[in-house]
Amino acid sequence: MPKPRVHIATDHAGMQLSAHLVSHLAARGFDVVDHGPREYDPLDDYPAFCIRAALAVVADQEAGTPALGIVLGGSGNGEQIAANKVRGVRAALAWNLDTARLAREHNDANVVAVGGRQHSIEEATALIEAFLAEPFSHDERHVRRIGKIATYESTGEIVD
């Protein structure tokens, strides 16, 4: 299976981690697209960066290009929320290796959020690597549940 294109975005609190991940992942053969910011601004507003990265993930996937996203911040919470506003995105906050892997394996998450102030660069890198390496299980129960979420997202209908 080819390595997915990786779209990354951050706020000021995740810039050091983002710069590390861009070079680290590129060195491992990933096509990394950096959605910003380009310079440090302690008053920046992360939603636009994260939404652009999430939109790019969905656009790539709809075009048949394997793609995943990474959104970073101080805690990762706001960035996850912003990414999840994009139709077709399933962004998961990863805080340990299990949550990073299960986000992909059970939820087919296509964006991972990590808090840059919550982990060392080494820990955060391990979370990202675990997320990127884990395939979706395609287990029927997980496919069914994701389908119910997608139905609500597109129609507003709650399926029992």
Q: Give the Å distances, CA to CA, from 135 to 12, 44, 66, 69.
A: 30, 34, 12, 14
Is 79 labeled as catalytic in the residue annotation? yes
Q: Which one of 7, 12, 79, 119 is the catalytic residue?
A: 79
Q: Which one of 24, 106, 123, 153 is the catalytic residue?
A: 106
- Which residues belong to the active site? 79, 106
